[in-house]
Amino acid sequence: MFKGITKRWMLNTLSVILTIIILIVVSLIFVVTYLCQSSVEQSLTNTANELSLVFSGYTSDSTTSFNSSARDYVENFDKKEQMGVIVINSSGRVIMSSTGFIPSETEEIPDFEEAKSNGEGAAFWSGKLDSGESAMSETRIITNSSGTVVGAIRYIVSMEPINSRIIIISAFIVGLGIMIIALVIFSGLMFIRSIVKPIRSLSVTADKIAHGDFSASEKIDHKYDDEIGDLCDAVSDMAKELKATEQMKNDFISRVSHELRTPLTAIKGWAETMQLSERGKLDRRTFDKGMSVIVKESTRLTSIVEELLDFSRIQSGRMVLVNEKLDILAEFDESVYMLRERAVKEGKHLLYDEPEAVYPPVLGDRNRLKQVFINVLDNALKYTPKGGVVAAQVIYSKDEPDVIKIVITDTGCGISADDLPKVKEKFYKANQTVGGSGIGLAVADEIMSLHNGSLELESGEGVGTTVTLTFPVYKEGETQSLPEDIKL
């Protein structure tokens, strides 16, 4: 019936609470019993203390004299409704009673014998009379001036009303304890339910999300703004992020498939054309054109595959770097040169003047840095319309002597404010109308991070984009090579 959190609560918390409440109830009953009995004892003691006044200076050893004094005391006893008074002679026989009834001779009076023998002249007794009635008594020994026992006075109280009162109070305490336990169980179960029910619902929803049903997060609801509510919100946000990531991944696979299919189609088409043509009858111009397309598309295909391999390395947490001290100007100049002809063919202006000053070296992987430069320049040209401008400059100033910056600005379509924070994320592609896998910028950003540098973007929709690459300047003593595997 009970399992999970409810079971643990009942075994741990509830068992402790029940033990504490039971101990409190038992202790209260014990205290009530003790107080009631103590009050009776105190009443008997206070009444018995009056004997010091009644029999003070008692000198006679005559039985007749004792009986006369005791009779006067019993007849004038003003607490007959509260307790009974019994007069006992020196031999232990009851000779007088305030009730008018003499107990049977078989009725034992243990407190009389104890009072005679204990040296204090007084003793308490509690138990049952021969009639079965519960009672409590105190006996005081009466002695004459010479110390001889002439008799005793016994005060006796029926404990039946006291015991009934104790039972009633104990029943009330037990009932109160049961009510508290019931309230604890009820409130505890309600509280546990308020936790368990949403967690079970959340567990079912999480299972659906794990199996790809991201729409299940829309059904998550919570009543309170507490930790459970925060957990529900977190799961809902997680599902939305997973859904967005899944969509981006699907778009990425679709884009990559398209990017791979395009060069493969061109290569296959020209290869079939050359294969089907009669040997020696394919003119040189057509042959050169076909080979040019095959080489170009093969290079493009290789570039896509390399990009995918880099992406795979990032996903697996490994990226190989071979660092060395290098001239960042020379590497960037070479990258610009590689794309300058493309810019001319596309009718775009690629502007870059290599600074005449000598800049300090940086520590980095030559091939990986070229990959970053070409990726950023390629994106700038790709998103810049015909007649547009892509300008690049290398900046090193005395104000920031520890870094070298490369700033690349284009007059392209720009990036919206909503897309700008996401363009460096894996799978994300802001502009779906332009070709590309959408992972190049993510790879470039990871490479810059491995070089202890940064890749920052500033853009406005319709006004172009500015990319700033920041590299730390090489300092003597830095490690020039890294282990084979560098974990991101």
Q: Is the dihedral of CA 47, 53, 58, 64 positive or negative?
A: negative
207-220 core/surface letters (b: 16 or more CB in 10 A; e: else):
ebbeeeebebbeeb
Helix (H, G, I), strand (E, B) or coil at 391: strand
pLDDT at 488: 37
| Of residues 15 and 311, more confidently modeled | 15
Query: What pLDDT, on the 0 to 100 scale, is given for residue 220?
Result: 66
Question: What is d(CA 447, CA 458) in angstroms, rounded to the nearest whole number?
Answer: 19
SS3 for 258?
A: helix
- Residue 392 pLDDT > 90: yes
The mean pLDDT of the chain is 81
Report CA torsion sign: 273, 279, 285, 291.
positive
- Tell me if residue 364 falls in helix, strand or coil: strand
Whole-model pTM: value is 0.50
Residue 169 has pLDDT above 90, yes or no: yes
For 90, the token pair is: 């020196």
Distance CA 140, CA 130 (A): 22
486 — pLDDT class (breaks 50, 70, 90): very low
b/e string for 400-417 if b means 16 or more Cβ within 10 A? eeeebbbbbbbbbbbbee
Tens of pLDDT, residue by residue over 217-226, are 666 666 666 7
pLDDT of residue 269: 84
- How does pLDDT run across 250-287, given as a tens digit for each residue? 776 776 776 677 778 888 888 877 777 655 566 777 77
DSSP character for 473? B
* Cα–Cα distance measured from residue 287 to residue 283, given in angstroms and rounded to the nearest whole number: 6
For the segment 438-455, the average pLDDT, to the nearest whole number, is: 85
Length of the chain in terms of residues written: 488
**At residue 373, what is the residue type?**
F
CA–CA separation, 277 and 42 (whole Å): 130
- Per-residue tokens: 186: 């009820």
Query: Of the candidates 475, 381, 396, which has an alpha carbon nearest to the alpha carbon of residue 436?
Result: 381
Q: What is the mean pLDDT of residues 144-171?
A: 87
